[in-house]
Structure 1
Amino acid sequence: MKTAQVIMATGANAAAQAVKYARVDVVPGYPITPQTSIMEYMASMVENDELNARFIPVEGEHSAMAAAVAASAAGARVFTATSSNGLLYMHEVLHMASGGRLPVVMCNVNRGIFAPWTLWSDHQDSMAQRDTGWIQYHCSSNQEVFNTILQAYRVAEQINIPIMVNFDGFAISHCLMPLTLPPQEDIDQFLPPHKPEWRLDPANPSSFSNVTMAAEYAPFRQMLSDDIIASIPLVKQAAQEYKEATGMWDGDTIDTYRLEDAEVVAFAINSMAAELKLSVDILREQGIKAGLLRPRLYLPFPAEDIIAALPQNAQVMVLDRNYNFGHPGGILASELKSVLFGRRNDITVKNRVMGIGGIDLTRRFMAAEIRAMMDE
């Protein structure tokens, strides 16, 4: 029996390794900082026969997603990746993927939005795609990136909805961490070959996503909305079965830390949530009963799991790395308030926007910010 291998890998390498383990068929891509090294790894793997796939270098992100849509419609298992304004450039075709019920998996390496130009991370790019009909995961470590991509294929191909796996530029994409690579046969058992329910086949001509009248169009949109919400049990099942196959666990829809008796709860996503575990430890040393709740799944928003996990009478400190333009504060805070309204009136929600454009978020800085929020 083969055993797991541990290597040192960047988040970008972790993503590429997961795609190789998934035995993906087609990889369209266009490089954009800080996603670029993912595409470099993928091109190298295909060139060196480490991955039996078609790599398609295209002239822009709109074309990358168009190629992903076409390949998925033809029955292929597809991967692509992007960042920032590249994701915005894809926006039109993101709707084609979700409306066409195509199980594309894409990594978005979070980076701030132009203008002005920034190369560094915040979460405005992925949050701006909230209503495109894609499921969204958000990862806090290199290992979680690897694990989540494999789980994403499992979920996407069960429910025929595309999935975006998000992680921070540079803090995860370019930083080395230990990465456990399980035996390939364990992943093959967890993620068998893709067998689409339908596909475009020149030998059996057909079409999809043609013009529909209102009476036909509305049920398709309602079905997509319903099925995104219905994906939550599949997300939990995939996480549990991945744990059984590999022994690795990052949480399912949420991840928590020292939450059981917490009176003050930090609420955040991505790499800042990993750093916040250390902030929680600092606050505990100062006599504050602090804990962390991290939504691993952003879309669909895991409302029931969040409501059930929050301790009674907790103060929830939402740390947003984005702006909810036209509204005070950030998007995560708005999402949380909407699900708590009328159901958990014992909870107090406070909000800070921080880390925009890659401003460093250290454990001590965030612990101090949470203490300041407690006094507001």
Structure 2
Amino acid sequence: MNYNERLSGNEAIAFAMKQIDPDVMAAFPITPSTEIPQYFAQYVANGEVNTEFVPVESEHSSMSACIGAEAAGARAVTATSSAGLALMYEMMYVAASSRLPITLACVNRALTGPININNDHSDSMGIRDAGWIQIYAENNQEAYDNFLQAMPIGEHPSVRLPVMICQDGFITSHALENIVLLDTDSVKAFVGEYRPEHFLLKAENPLAIGPYDLGCHYMEHKVQQAEAMKGAKKRILEVAAQFAALTGREYGLFEAYRMEDAEIALVLIGSSAGTAKVTVDALRARGIPAGLVKIRVFRPFPAEELAQTLKNVKALAILDKAESFSAQGGPLFAEVRAALYDLEPRPRTVGYVYGLGGRDITPAHFASVFARLEAIAAGGELGPVYSHLGQRG
């Protein structure tokens, strides 16, 4: 049964955790994700969950505790942001390479320096190649729904990878929105019990977790990880179909918004998509064939599916809320442009980095990008392929 509630994004994630009732939560506070363990610790104190809450001395320890719990056969969750995720860096690789399906709520925040506590995607993009599945939300409803889908994805025998559920710090994490919640019994039935095949406390099958791996085995294990990430795409879609049957809310690898006949389009991630949709609708009202693709799943990257969706677009702008310092654009730009390489003809493509450190993005900014795309689609000069949007001169 669905029912309506008004929650912030952080409350929505904490409530999803409460409904799932994981075995272990290990956490260390950091803005803007602090509220998630704060709310959840209250559920623990009130006896509303059976979870073992482990307050630790750092985010490195938080991920270490989750790794130990998952390796022992428990279902473990945590939450962090920005420098907290960076401090977990070493252990993020350990979790993925050990094939431990931990679920992490990442409330995206800029990394220092200079010191900044506001939103961009530099934290999760900085760890994008650690082997974690990454799923992004536009709004609070998606944050809640994505978290419920994380465990059926990551824990499946064909995947067995950790999952990072991302939402934009303060923009969604602290803003109140009306969302639709599932009843707890439905959540428990959908998520299911965690029944790992192998774990440290299984006496009849002793094993090691994260052993020293020499050159004779290391590459084979990395290939297994890579194949699991490929297989995760299918599992993500299977879980989305099951979730749609339960809730009526449909999810895919990305959302194609008004793309049926689009000739100019944007590709971006996160809450900015809501603002961009306003601009798309305004342009459509004027007869301009604009569209938008909002990436939901960044790892595994939906390259083939994106190419099919974008193959008829004449001019495309890819917008990153993180700077990769490659001198060639942001990480999303590199991935999307590579995905389009084999198309003939392919869209003429430009990349923007925007919104760093919480810099506002408005419909007027998106309108200026679409105006440029119109000129490019009409045969105009491409201009600089990589630029920044919204910075002062």
TM range (shorter): over 0.9
1:234: which partner in 2? 235
Q: One-letter code of the match for 2:126?
A: A
2:60: which partner in 1? 62
1:305: which partner in 2? 305
Within 5 Å, give how 1:234-273 maps onto structure 2: 234-249=235-250, 251-273=251-273
Within 5 Å, give how 1:333-372 maps onto structure 2: 333-372=333-372
> Whole-Å Cα distance in 2 between the matches of residues 373 and 57 of structure 1?
50
1:211: which partner in 2? 212
1:176: which partner in 2? 176
2:120: which partner in 1? 122
Is the contact between residue 27 and residue 53 of structure 1 (CA under 8 Å) also seen in structure 2?
yes
Within 5 Å, give how 1:134-153 maps onto structure 2: 134-153=132-151
Q: CA deviation at 1:123?
A: 0.6
Is the contact between residue 109 and residue 168 of structure 2 (CA under 8 Å) also seen in structure 1?
yes
Q: One-letter code of the match for 1:75?
A: G
Q: CA deviation at 1:209?
A: 2.0
Q: Which moved more, 1:344-353 or 1:221-230?
A: 344-353
2:295: which partner in 1? 295
2:391: which partner in 1? none
SS in 2 for 1:85: helix
Q: CA deviation at 1:374?
A: 3.9
CA deviation map 1:221-248 (0-9, x unaligned) = 1110111011101000000101112222
Is the contact between residue 265 and residue 313 of structure 2 (CA under 8 Å) also seen in structure 1?
no
Cα separation, partners in 2 of 1:104 and 1:328, compared to 1, 3 Å: same
> Whole-Å Cα distance in 2 between the matches of residues 285 and 53 of structure 1?
51
Within 5 Å, give how 1:65-84 maps onto structure 2: 65-84=63-82
Q: One-letter code of the match for 2:299?
A: L
Q: One-letter code of the match for 1:210?
A: P
Q: CA deviation at 1:203?
A: 4.7
Is the contact between residue 83 and residue 111 of structure 2 (CA under 8 Å) also seen in structure 1?
yes
Cα separation, partners in 2 of 1:36 and 1:344, compared to 1, 3 Å: farther
Q: CA deviation at 1:360?
A: 1.1
CA deviation map 1:194-213 (0-9, x unaligned) = 00111111855542221233
Q: Which moved more, 1:328-337 or 1:135-144?
A: 328-337
CA deviation map 1:332-367 (0-9, x unaligned) = 111111111123532111111111110111223322
1:5: which partner in 2? 3
> Whole-Å Cα distance in 2 between the matches of residues 352 and 213 of structure 1?
42
Is the contact between residue 171 and residue 271 of structure 2 (CA under 8 Å) also seen in structure 1?
yes
Q: CA deviation at 1:17?
A: 1.2
Q: Report the RMSD for the aligned CA atoms in angstroms.
A: 1.4
Q: CA deviation at 1:311?
A: 4.6
Q: CA deviation at 1:273?
A: 1.2
Stretches of 4+ moved more than 6 A in 1?
A: none
Q: Which moved more, 1:351-360 or 1:177-186?
A: 177-186
Q: One-letter code of the match for 1:304?
A: E
CA deviation map 1:276-310 (0-9, x unaligned) = 11111122233321111111100111011111112
> Whole-Å Cα distance in 2 between the matches of residues 202 and 246 of structure 1?
36
Within 5 Å, give how 1:320-331 maps onto structure 2: 320-331=320-331
Task: State the identity %.
Answer: 35
Gaps of 5+ in 2: 376-382, 384-393
CA deviation map 1:168-206 (0-9, x unaligned) = 000000000112111222222221110011111185554
> Whole-Å Cα distance in 2 between the matches of residues 294 and 238 of structure 1?
19
Counting matched residue pairs gives: 373
2:390: which partner in 1? none
> Whole-Å Cα distance in 1 between the matches of residues 193 and 100 of structure 2?
16
Q: One-letter code of the match for 1:216?
A: H
> Whole-Å Cα distance in 2 between the matches of residues 64 and 208 of structure 1?
18
Cα separation, partners in 2 of 1:305 and 1:360, compared to 1, 3 Å: same
Is the contact between residue 282 and residue 364 of structure 1 (CA under 8 Å) also seen in structure 2?
no
2:388: which partner in 1? none
1:25: which partner in 2? 23
Gaps of 5+ in 1: none
Is the contact between residue 18 and residue 49 of structure 2 (CA under 8 Å) also seen in structure 1?
yes
> Whole-Å Cα distance in 2 between the matches of residues 129 and 46 of structure 1?
30
> Whole-Å Cα distance in 1 between the matches of residues 190 and 100 of structure 2?
20
> Whole-Å Cα distance in 1 between the matches of residues 5 and 354 of structure 2?
33
2:43: which partner in 1? 45
CA deviation map 1:12-57 (0-9, x unaligned) = 0111111122221110001100001111111111111122101111
Is the contact between residue 275 and residue 363 of structure 1 (CA under 8 Å) also seen in structure 2?
yes
Q: Which moved more, 1:31-40 or 1:281-290?
A: 281-290
> Whole-Å Cα distance in 2 between the matches of residues 216 and 123 of structure 1?
34
> Whole-Å Cα distance in 1 between the matches of residues 317 and 200 of structure 2?
48
Q: One-letter code of the match for 1:46?
A: V
Q: One-letter code of the match for 2:216?
A: A
Is the contact between residue 24 and residue 79 of structure 1 (CA under 8 Å) also seen in structure 2?
yes
